Amino acid sequence: MKFGEKIVLNSSIISVWNFLIDPIKLCKCIPGCKKIVALDERHYEVMLDVKVGPISFSFTVATTILDMRPPVYLSFQSNGKEKAGTFTQKCILTLKAISQQETEVCYDADVVIMGKLSTFGERIFRAKAKQISEEFIGSLKSELLSGLNETATS
């Protein structure tokens, strides 16, 4: 299942980049994220709770940064495990400065779902992925704006 999006954030490319590579800040924006643990500079463990319809899932997700070219490119792979199945996600993020205070972020993801999880069907997972994406983008914009306001008042 492939999906992606392009968004514009009212923040500098450096601010967006630094936010996206900070596990503590990033966790606040990921719906259902309980914690992100940096194992080293390229490996992370994520605890994630996701609800699909009436069913809740708790994933342990191993994420590996595959390639990083600050502040414009990041690719990573995540492998999630849960009793009902597993998923693998490969994602590419590209950032482009539109102006000093605007950054375009594009992401493309390819997700493969296996096990009992796959019985929900692509349509349900695509809708859930869209919902998670919208929540993440809303939180990201809010957190970046909050950070700008804190910097302006300091």
* Pair 13, 141: CB distance under 8 Å: no
Could you report the per-residue pLDDT of 56-96, keeping only the tens digit for each?
999 999 999 999 999 999 999 999 999 989 999 999 999 99
Spatial contact of 140 and 129, defined as CB atoms under 8 Å apart: no
What confidence tens digit (pLDDT) does each residue in 103-153 have? 999 999 999 989 888 887 777 878 888 899 999 999 999 998 887 544 443
In the sheet that 33-38 helps form, which strands lie side by side, from edge to edge?
2-9, 102-115, 85-99, 73-82, 55-69, 43-52, 33-38
Residue 62 lies in a domain: yes
Q: Within a domain: residue 124?
A: yes
Say how many domains are in the chain.
Answer: 1
Domain membership flag for residue 44: yes
* Domain extent for 137: 2-149
Q: Is residue 79 part of a domain?
A: yes
Partners of 58 in the beta sheet? 49
Whether 17 is covered by a domain: the verdict is yes
The answer, as to whether pTM is greater than 0.75, is yes
Can you give the CATH number for the domain in which 14 is found? 3.30.530.20
Whether residue 154 is contained in a domain is answered as no
Spatial distance between the Cα atoms of 145 and 123, rounded to a whole number of angstroms: 33
